[in-house]
Amino acid sequence: MAFRITTWNINSVRLRINLVVRFLKEHAPDVLCLQETKCPNDQFPLGEFRKLGYGSIAIKGQKGYNGVAILSRLPFASMDAVNYCDKEDCRHMSVVIGQDARRAAGLTIHNFYVPAGGDLPDPALNVKFAHKLAFLGQLEALASAGREQRRAEIIVGDLNVAPLEHDVWSHKQLLDVVSHTPIETETLTRIRLGGGWKDSVRDLEPEPKKVYTWWSYRAADWEASNRGRRLDHVWHSDDLSPALQSYEILQEARGWERPSDHVPLTVTYDL
């Protein structure tokens, strides 16, 4: 059974609903995980997704910022959300795929939107960066809990860290830039390794190849400059490694009308 999961920071699901609909019509993953939906639950465009066959929807949203959603063609057995750093800021949602989903049954999916962290990489001077580090600290505890018993589990999302040298356009120039500072990259790597998680993209596409999922709005010509970062990730538990098949980063979506600064990342497993 081919199982395809996509993660995409959409930067307002209502503003970019046409882009999401286009993507689903053209690519039709089994599960789509969105971040930065910027939409309260009662205003989420459920009908648009149900028309396309995404009848199982788990959302945690708020007005104007943050927010996560999981849209699925497969049924859910359960849904859950965790608040981090004592904030109800809608940065996590998880689901367990239901028993009617054939070989995908029992699969657990976590969708995260890690805080961006602001511009100054000093927690003493920047409360946003302090929040990011605290969030990652709590995520480390979750990611490592139950490592020995973990089966059929996937973490996706905008983790807002480009952990490897070739996950950014210039390692040296970005060492002091939030998302690629040593404290962030080392923490995210420790989270992944400590929890026994596998980085799907880098397992399929090792360094030194450059891989990006985000290009800044600030660039006059994002495509020509190609100053990207790999901020979006799909990790899986070790037992899913033999099922890992392929990945696709839909870079062309960055050039769509009124795009997000992130593009969809899709990973396929043969379950």
pLDDT, tens only, 203-232: 999 999 999 999 999 998 999 999 999 999
pLDDT, tens only, 104-162: 999 999 999 999 999 999 999 999 999 999 999 999 887 777 788 889 999 999 999 99
250: pLDDT strictly greater than 80: yes
What is the Cα–Cα distance from 59 to 71, expressed in whole angstroms?
A: 8
pLDDT, tens only, 64-87: 999 999 999 999 999 999 999 999
Count of alpha carbons within 13 Å of 17, Cβ hemisphere only? 12
pTM over 0.95: yes
Domains in the chain, ordered, with CATH?
A: 2-270 (3.60.10.10)
Looking at residue 149, its pLDDT comes to 82
CA distances, 42 to each of 38, 39, 61, 62, 88 (Å): 12, 8, 9, 9, 17
Beta bridge partners of 168: 229
Identity of the amino acid at 102 = R
CA distances, 2 to each of 5, 23, 27 (Å): 10, 18, 14
Q: Which two tokens stand for residue 223?
A: 């495509």
Question: What's the mean pLDDT when you consider all of the chain?
Answer: 97
Kindly compute the dihedral angle of the four CA atoms of residues 245, 171, 174, 163, in this order, to the nearest 10 degrees. 30
